[in-house]
Chain A
Amino acid sequence: MSRILLVDDEENILRALRRSLAREEYTIEDFSEPAAALARAEVVPFDLVLSDYRMPQMDGVAFLTRFKALHPDAARMIISGQADLEGLLAAINEAEIQRFISKPWENYDLRTSIRQALAHREVVLQNRRLADQVRRQQVRLDEQGRLLDRLEREFPGISEVRRTADGAVVLEE
């Protein structure tokens, strides 16, 4: 079950977000103070974080940038009623957010955006896992190759299998 962190200084927004995500299979935690959210994120990992942009103590970009240091793999999104160009640039370049959702939002859009972000993150992570697996298997293959070479040197021809026309293995005696 994906773990989602919601941050907005307005409790009503947090509750509305929770409601609109209630039927999704997520574990959701919400915070009205970015500092508290960061403290929590140091203890528990999250798969996705959705933060307001304008908050009194710390703006969304600063919060997400610090959150990124804790969980670089988590998907980051901003939800805001204001989108000045500077803020947007910072959100993209510094916090490297995946999506900017404007307030007011459509629940349907929100759910779709979160699903896509999580799916994208899953693909990236799986890609990384598979790449690791390939590397590990390559190491094993290399090991076996060396073993085979040694055997071939000691018993020339041992690594070759001769077959008849119909594919039967020919055992010479």
Chain B
Amino acid sequence: MIPGNLSGNEAFQWACELYRIGRRSAGATPGDVLGRTLEHLVGGFPASAGCLATTAPDGADLTIVAGVNLPAGAVGTVVPFGRRLLGRAAAERVPFRRDGDLSDEPGLPDGRAGRPLPVSALCWPLVAESRVIGALCVARGRGEPPFRADDLGDGAVLANMITLAVENVRLQAGQDGRIAELARLNAELTDSHRRLKETQAHLVQAEKLASIGQLAAGVAHEINNPVGYVGSNMATLGAYVGDLLRVLDAYQAAEAAVPEAAQALAPVRGLEDQVDLAYVKDDVGALIAECREGLERVRRIVRDLKEFAHADEGAWERADLHRGLDATLGLVRNEIKYTADVVRDYGDLPLVECVPSQLNQVFMQLLVNAAGDLADAAAAEARGTITVRTGTDPGTAWVEVAAAAPGAHRERTEPGTGRGSALARDIVARHGGTLEEGPDPDGVRVRRVTLPLSRAGGAEADGGGVSSAADGPKGPTRKEGP
């Protein structure tokens, strides 16, 4: 069965080795495996050359996939079905022996450059489950003993084993392909799942902010009613108190003019002392003024809240970025005031096509991050400075928030992270702009939003386009003082 010159045990070892090679170690390509299988076969036979050809999956022509002692370029050669030794073996499904000068056979050596001149060859078809999957050919050169008739029969068993190896390699290659495909699909799925989760998180966040915005606008409206009448009443109260004080003064003047009334007025004197009338008269004006000042602050907060939330949620319009910045600064004032002083350094900005309420979220994020950068400095009771700058470049407008810690606290430089920052990036991307972050040479952390003045060539908000510097300012420009 096995190459005729091997003893029983050797033959078994040989077959085991063939099987082992056929199992293929990790990292080996199908070509490697078939090549080694063939070498094993040629070495064991023994023969001086050999060739293995397989059919394409569609069962058409044969392609030489491995060779021993073949001229360069032989591997890869296509042998038509039914032609030459290999093709005939495959087409006729019959093994055969051929002697003579075989140097022009595509699957055999050509006798040049030290390669043997083949004079005797054996060919077997490789048939798996009644399907021809290839052909095998071994040859001996001039000077070697030609194959005997028995060799063909012994080789038939061999051909079966080779068939198994080839089939195995093929199956494994198919499986590898499927595994690779599955891995790719899996990676793709994982990636889209991650992006979906991100998008969902952003959506939830945006949704939350939008509903907070609506809520804020509603609350602002509700607050305006009580603030309205309390404010009005305070003004009226101020007038009433002024009137009462004038009447009181008139009484006191009259009292002085009528000395005989002194006795009757003694209880009034006592009461005046009891309530400390002089102090009350002195303080009541300040009290009302303070109340009105507090109301004025409530009014400003409500106004900023309304401006920030921007009732026409989600609509694109040409907006003055300074208004949004001022409203946002008004709202985060409380968060910032313990850590930093705010400096506004506004340039001349034209109107920018945007969704104002969304950009306000970005401004809020920039300011909160800047305040966060300075929180360490503030803990050491050294106040930082947050500078809000605006300006234009051709076709774009920019808003910059710079957080400058006082000297000793300049090493903190990790960039702002978290959901808020991701959402801010998202919003800026939807506006076709960029959000850059990084310390400048002086160790001041600068965050800059650059926005195109108008949406590029009809690109939609959700298109996530890139900024187009080519866009000239199209909108009406408006001067805005700092």
Give A contacts to B, CB under 8 Å.
10, 12-13, 15-17, 19-20, 22, 54, 81-82, 84-85, 102-108, 110
| CB closest chain-B residue, reference A12 | B229
Cβ–Cβ contact A103 & B233, under 8 A: no
Chain B residues whose CB sits within 8 angstroms of the CB of A17 once the complex forms: 232
Report the bound CA distance from A107 to B312 in whole Å. Answer: 30
Cβ–Cβ contact A85 & B232, under 8 A: no
Report the bound CA distance from A66 to B228 in whole Å. Answer: 26
Chain B residues whose CB sits within 8 angstroms of the CB of A54 once the complex forms: 221
Cβ–Cβ contact A20 & B221, under 8 A: no
| CB closest chain-A residue, reference B222 | A81
Q: With A104-B231, A104-B299 known to touch, is A19 a contact of B236 (CB < 8 Å)?
A: yes
Q: Select one of B221, B227, B233 contacting A19, CB under 8 A.
A: B233
Chain B residues whose CB sits within 8 angstroms of the CB of A15 once the complex forms: 229
| CB closest chain-B residue, reference A82 | B221
Q: Select one of A82, A85, A107 contacting B235, CB under 8 A.
A: A107
The answer, yes or no, to whether B418 is at the interface (CB within 8 Å) is no
Report the bound CA distance from A125 to B231 in whole Å. Answer: 35
How many chain B residues sit at the interface, stated as a range, is 20 to 34
Cβ–Cβ contact B235 & A104, under 8 A: no
The answer, yes or no, to whether B295 is at the interface (CB within 8 Å) is yes
Q: Select one of B227, B235, B236, B311 contacting A103, CB under 8 A.
A: B227
Q: Select one of B224, B227, B236 contacting A107, CB under 8 A.
A: B236
Give B contacts to A, CB under 8 Å.
220-233, 235-236, 295, 299, 311-312
Cβ–Cβ contact A12 & B226, under 8 A: yes
Chain B residues whose CB sits within 8 angstroms of the CB of A108 once the complex forms: 235
Cβ–Cβ contact A16 & B312, under 8 A: no
Q: With A84-B311, A85-B312 known to touch, is A20 a contact of B232 (CB < 8 Å)?
A: yes
Report the bound CA distance from A84 to B226 in whole Å. Answer: 20
Chain B residues whose CB sits within 8 angstroms of the CB of A106 once the complex forms: 231, 235
Cβ–Cβ contact A103 & B228, under 8 A: yes
Q: With A81-B221, A104-B299, A106-B235 known to touch, is A16 a contact of B311 (CB < 8 Å)?
A: no
Report the bound CA distance from A85 to B313 in whole Å. Answer: 12
Chain A residues whose CB sits within 8 angstroms of the CB of B235 once the complex forms: 20, 106-108
Distance (whole angstroms) from the CB of A53 to the closest CB of chain B? 10
Q: With A85-B312, A104-B295, A104-B299 known to touch, is A16 a contact of B224 (CB < 8 Å)?
A: no
Distance (whole angstroms) from the CB of A82 to the closest CB of chain B? 4
Distance (whole angstroms) from the CB of A144 to the closest CB of chain B? 58
Q: With A84-B311, A85-B312, A103-B227 known to touch, is A16 a contact of B232 (CB < 8 Å)?
A: yes
Chain B residues whose CB sits within 8 angstroms of the CB of A16 once the complex forms: 228-230, 232-233, 236
Chain B residues whose CB sits within 8 angstroms of the CB of A81 once the complex forms: 220-225, 228
Distance (whole angstroms) from the CB of A155 to the closest CB of chain B? 73
Cβ–Cβ contact B232 & A104, under 8 A: yes
- A-B CB contact pairs (8 Å), 6 listed: A16-B230, A19-B233, A20-B236, A81-B221, A103-B227, A104-B228
Chain A residues whose CB sits within 8 angstroms of the CB of B223 once the complex forms: 81
| CB closest chain-A residue, reference B223 | A81
Report the bound CA distance from A108 to B292 in whole Å. Answer: 14
Chain A residues whose CB sits within 8 angstroms of the CB of B312 once the complex forms: 84-85
The 5 closest A-B pairs by CB, nearest first: A81-B224, A103-B228, A16-B229, A16-B232, A104-B228
Give 15 A-B pairs besides A12-B226, A106-B231 with Cβ atoms closer than 8 angstroms: A10-B225, A15-B229, A16-B228, A16-B232, A19-B232, A82-B221, A85-B312, A104-B224, A104-B227, A104-B231, A104-B295, A104-B299, A105-B228, A105-B232, A107-B235
Distance (whole angstroms) from the CB of A95 to the closest CB of chain B? 19
Report the bound CA distance from A105 to B231 in whole Å. Answer: 8
Report the bound CA distance from A12 to B312 in whole Å. Answer: 30
Cβ–Cβ contact A13 & B225, under 8 A: yes
Chain A residues whose CB sits within 8 angstroms of the CB of B299 once the complex forms: 104
| CB closest chain-A residue, reference B235 | A107
Q: Select one of B229, B236, B311 contacting A13, CB under 8 A.
A: B229
Chain A residues whose CB sits within 8 angstroms of the CB of B233 once the complex forms: 16, 19
| CB closest chain-B residue, reference A11 | B229
Distance (whole angstroms) from the CB of A143 to the closest CB of chain B? 57
Cβ–Cβ contact A82 & B224, under 8 A: yes
Chain B residues whose CB sits within 8 angstroms of the CB of A85 once the complex forms: 312
